[in-house]
A = this chain, B = another copy of it.
Amino acid sequence: MVYELYYWPGIQGRGEFVRLALEQAAAPYVDIALVAEDEGGGVRAMERWLHDESLEQPPFAPPFLRVGRQLIGQTANILLFLGGRLDLAPRDAAGKRWTHQLQLTLADFVVEIHDTHHPIGGGLYYREQQPEARRRSKDFRESRLPKFLNYFERVMKCNPGGSTRMVGRRLSYVDLSMAQVVAGLQYAFPKASREALRICPHLRTLHDEVFSLPRIKRYVASGRRLAFNDDDIFRHYPELDG
């Protein structure tokens, strides 16, 4: 079974949460964003699915995963599906549910991170909403960033499987996603995230560990993992970092 991942080329975006799970599991997959359009990849391939009026279960937006005849959308839903198959989630139903709940809370956090630079509309440029972005980012840095990070730190601290993981004893997809969010925040908000992470030692350690995993290191070194950049969810605009 070869998975096909459809997402925008040129950015990590929400696709990266799925990629990290596929890479860590050494799962066979094709990243369609990296396939040239004239070889059946890229945006054209993605949009063919998005605009296919004959689909019974059309995704609303990328990322989506093609698995046989199924197209699975919504990042957290894709990871819920892959978690069991790739052995990146607890095996019991309650553990799967808790892992998914944390992933959904991370997804909420990611929306808020994105909206710091796009508080008015995703269809407008940053420069068209810069004053609003400054106000939203101030609120984010002072209130939402510490609230979310302190919550996830608390989750690690009270994990009965051990404070080196988000859930249970073994690595799960939500560990990978959490590390990715920490990395993104360090890129986008170097000052504010350093301050907020000061009291989150478990999150800092998790980030370092995930990006030291041999398969994740190989993935980062392969060139397939794009660099953070300012077309992406995590953007470094110094004026938003306080």
Contact = CB atoms under 8 A, between A and B. Distances in A.
A115 interface: yes
Contacts of A72: 97, 101
A119 interface: yes
B151 A60 contact: yes
Interface residues of A, number: 46
A142 to B, nearest CB: 9
A120 B136 contact: yes
How many copies of the polypeptide does the oligomer hold? 2
A81 B97 contact: yes
A159 B58 CA distance: 10
A18 interface: no
A120 B123 contact: no
A222 interface: no
Interface of A: 53-60, 70, 72-74, 76-77, 80-81, 94, 97-98, 100-101, 104-105, 108, 111, 115, 119-121, 123-124, 129, 132, 135-136, 139-140, 143-144, 148, 151, 154-155, 158-160
